[in-house]
Amino acid sequence: MTVGGDDLVFHNFSEAHEGLDHIKRVIDNVSELTDTVRQVFQVDLPEGFKGTTGTEITAAHHEIDSCLQDIIHELSAIQVDGVQQQDDMAALDRGLAQGIRG
């Protein structure tokens, strides 16, 4: 968004959507990381650890997985809200433009 002369505001919708697309790519990356962590904790580590250590590893996995899921949910909410705001702003912009043109 830039401000022009006479306090006019110019909103670059494509640039804003690029930022929102970047957030979606980050969400996808965190999801991939979650899958990798799940693989390590559920398949790779349990084979070598039994008993109390195995229980601690499982607890650590659940804690890490929960944190990653929270990140995914928060980023998803930000991305969805951002897209909605962009769409609302674009609709308002089109409506104002039609009003000016008559």
**Domain segments of the chain as ranges:** 13-100
> Which position has the higher pLDDT, 97 or 62?
62
At residue 6, does pLDDT exceed 70?
A: no
Q: Quote the pTM value.
A: 0.72
Query: What is the number of helices (H) and of strands (E) in the chain?
Result: 2, 2
Report which secondary-structure segment, H or E, holds 11: none
How does pLDDT run across 14-67, given as a tens digit for each residue?
788 888 999 999 999 999 999 999 988 887 776 677 677 878 888 989 999 999
Quick one: which of 97, 87, 83, 41 has its CA closest to 64? 41
Confidence of residue 12 (pLDDT cuts 50, 70, 90): confident
At residue 77, does pLDDT exceed 80?
A: yes
Calpha distance 23→31 (Å, rounded): 12
- Cα distances from 68 to residues 3, 19, 23, in angstroms, run 38, 21, 15
- Vertex 96, ends 95 and 97: CA angle to 5°? 90
At residue 73, does pLDDT exceed 80?
A: yes
Q: Which residues contact 93 (CB under 8 A, 6 or more apart)?
A: 11, 13
At residue 71, does pLDDT exceed 90?
A: yes
